[in-house]
Amino acid sequence: MKKLIASAIFALGAYALAGSAHAAECGDVSIAEMNWASAGVAAQVDKIILQNGYGCNVTLVTGDTQPTFTSMDEKAEPDVAPELWVNAVRTALDKAVSEGRLIEAAPLLSDGGVEGWWIPKFLADAHPDIKTVQDALKHPELFPAPEDSSKAAIYNCPSGWNCQISTANLYKALGAEKLGFTLVDTGSAAGLDGSIANAFEKKTGWLGYYWAPTAILGKYDMVRLSFNVPHDKKEWDACTAIQDCANPKVNSYPVSDVYTVVTKAFASKAGIAMDYVKTRKWDNGTVGKVLAWMTDNQGTNEDGAKYFLKTYPDMWTKWVSPDVATKVKASL
């Protein structure tokens, strides 16, 4: 009996030591929980998987694009920015990568961050001839303005955002006013969201600016229209994104690169956890559905992460080994 008890104690001790060794291998990890929903959920997903699957000691820190990047570049803190829209810091990031301080691990959003002009899918299905923005502009009768149904409407980006300028320039470049369209100032993101919800409730046409991944596009089925031209970065930088540009041309929105960026120290110490960070990615459609669930259920970022892990095991279990997946599932 003493031998059996001794064996059991030894086994428990060995298990504990193995767990400690695993944790020591990964060590302490700090992750930026950015102040927008999709990035917040990504940070929580990473926390759950790294903590429960790889034995890391994870701390989340509040983040935003510029402050987080600057801190990572200058102080090597935090270790991980799961969702960094890198175009906003492209020049400085390239320098940090070339000098070995930071690493662009992998894209987090498989289809990038996207912007554009959208219409409801129910409208696209009813009018299959509408494939481009120019096609939509041939049908002002389908997009009644909120204040005057005798006019058509294009809903602009929220006031004060950069996309308000590009949308206004594209409106001008397309000659939309002469085609019977007025550019509607939605005032705020809430106003823009409300106009979409109202269109779906009343089954009326809607045409305007939006972006992904977002809860709205996870909740309402929308179709992004082509501008029928490729993105012209030179034209975009010189005119499309410049307020009151005199002679804007039709252009397409750029696709934003959204990467996970880590410090060199994390890449050196994280071992197989780094393989996870380099592997995992999700698409805008999935992120949008998770964000929509959070909106409907008043869920936190942590709630959204757990909902994702419980709802989409076919996706995330491909990011990790079977034994790691088992540990993560047991923690939920």
Average pLDDT over residues 25-38: 90
Taken as a whole, the chain contains a residue count of 332
Distance CA(261)–CA(282), nearest Å, equals: 16
Higher pLDDT pick, 173 / 85: 173
Distance CA(41)–CA(295), nearest Å, equals: 13
Tokens of 10: 């030894």
Average pLDDT over residues 137-157: 94
Tokens of 240: 């499309």
What mean pLDDT value characterizes the chain? 90
pLDDT of residue 161: 83
Give the CB-side neighbour count of residue 112, counting CA atoms within 13 A. 10
Distance CA(181)–CA(135), nearest Å, equals: 13
Distance CA(298)–CA(304), nearest Å, equals: 10
Three-state SS for 112?
coil
Residue pLDDT, tens place only, 152-201: 999 999 888 888 999 999 999 999 999 999 999 988 899 999 999 999 99
Interior angle at CA 31, CA 29 and CA 37, nearest 5? 155
Q: Which residues contact 327 (CB under 8 A, 6 or more apart)?
A: 52, 53
Distance CA(41)–CA(303), nearest Å, equals: 8
Interior angle at CA 325, CA 330 and CA 56, nearest 5? 85
Residue 298 neighbours by CB distance under 10 Å: 7
Residue 36 neighbours by CB distance under 10 Å: 15
- Judge whether residue 21 has pLDDT over 70: no
Provide the residue ranges of all domains of the chain, joining segments of one domain with +.
Answer: 28-111+257-331, 114-255
- Judge whether residue 20 has pLDDT over 50: no
For the stretch 75-105, what's the b/e string if a residue is b when 16 or more beta carbons lie within 10 angstroms of its beta carbon? eeebbbbbbbbbeebeeebeebbeeebbbbb
pLDDT-above-90 percentage for the chain? 80
Residue entry with tokens 């090597």:
76
pLDDT of residue 269: 84
Per-residue pLDDT band for 25 (boundaries 50, 70, 90) equals: low
Distance CA(79)–CA(70), nearest Å, equals: 12
Equal CATH topology for 28-111+257-331 and 114-255:
yes
Question: Is residue 256 exposed (0-12), middle (13-18) or buried (19+ Cβ within 10 Å)?
Answer: middle
- Judge whether residue 3 has pLDDT over 90: no
Average pLDDT over residues 59-68: 93
Average pLDDT over residues 301-321: 97
Domain 114-255 adopts which CATH fold? Answer: D-Maltodextrin-Binding Protein; domain 2 (3.40.190)
pLDDT of residue 122: 98
Distance CA(241)–CA(298), nearest Å, equals: 35
Distance CA(98)–CA(314), nearest Å, equals: 36
Q: What is the largest CA-CA distance in the chain?
A: 93
Per-residue pLDDT band for 149 (boundaries 50, 70, 90) equals: confident
Identify the CATH homologous superfamily for domain 28-111+257-331. Periplasmic binding protein-like II (3.40.190.10)
pLDDT of residue 272: 81
Residue 271 Rama label (left phi>0; alpha psi -120 to 50; beta): left
